[in-house]
Amino acid sequence: MDLTYTAEEEAFRATVRQWIRGNAPKATAPRDAETARAWQRRLYQAGYLGAGWPQEYGGIDLAPMQQAILNEELARANAPGVINSMAIWWVGPAIIKYGIEEQKRRFLPKILTAEEIWATGYSEPGAGSDMAAAKTRAIRDGDDYVVTGQKIWTTIAHLSDWYFVLVRTSTEGKKWAGLSMLLIDFKSPGIEVRPIRQITGDCEFNEVFLNDVRVPVSNRLGAEGQGWEIVTSALINERSGIAGSIRADQVLERLVSLARCRRLTADPIWRQRLSDLAIKAHITRSSGLRAMSRRAARSRAISS
């Protein structure tokens, strides 16, 4: 396992770092949806968005280590996240893999440019993270499905244009066998979005109620009963690297500073708590580096 960066990788890091300094929104900039869309478009136009997507669908040619370095530098600079992140990591790759050509042409270009924002509908009340227990029904009626049910903890549903939704089209067989994936326009009659207000006052999550929502059969992704395969395949597409560990280090640094201000660092119990967090942050970073190293080694082996 090699945990060092090559000269070319460090040069790429320097280029990315300079670009972020000149282009990332200022800390005082508004954090509204339009500003977020503009930031995503700026990343895309610079060639820093869509790594892992085929170039014919707007993807960019970044090596795995370059992608990891880009994510690392964005996290280090506290740059805003990408508003269409779920579509870029999950929805887009799923459409690329399972969609028909018409769906690819219709949806993929507008994901990368943030022209259309996507939310994902997996969790339901009473089911939590058990996606196979989904009860939202989609009943075939001619050229449409009629969808009825409720989703919960849907991130940015109140800002989204389209919904990537796991629905039940059959109750026969094992519980994951009757699931299908639909692409639903949020403007469809019968959809109600209720924001869930958090303790911070923000409303990142939402409840989504679907009451006899008619969805064209042409908006089904893949075959009936293929929903479980599609959603589990999509969720594999997470970002790699140590961006998460950098954010953990930043939070830990703020916690230590706060503890010093409150004169808690002399307390052995608090010192132990902070030490435990520091150890976990170090483990997270080491695990990320190991994953990056293995992925880079596989990539080099394939290319050679």
User: Catalytic site residues?
Assistant: 238
Determine contact, residues 124/118, Cβ cutoff 8 Å: no
Residues whose CB falls within 8 Å of the CB of residue 201, separated by 6 or more in sequence, listed in order = none
What is the pairing mode between strands 162-168 and 118-121? parallel
What is the C-alpha to C-alpha distance for residues 118 and 185, in angstroms, rounded to an integer?
Answer: 10
What is the C-alpha to C-alpha distance for residues 168 and 131, in angstroms, rounded to an integer?
Answer: 11
What is the C-alpha to C-alpha distance for residues 43 and 36, in angstroms, rounded to an integer?
Answer: 11
Backbone angles phi, psi at 206, to 5 degrees: -145, 155
Beta-ladder partners of 77: none
Determine contact, residues 213/190, Cβ cutoff 8 Å: yes
Total number of residues shown for the chain: 304
> Using CA of residue 97, residue 46, residue 163, residue 128, what is the dihedral sign?
positive
- Burial of 134 by CB count in 10 Å (0-12 exposed, 13-18 middle, 19+ buried)? buried
- In 3-state terms, what secondary structure has residue 198? coil
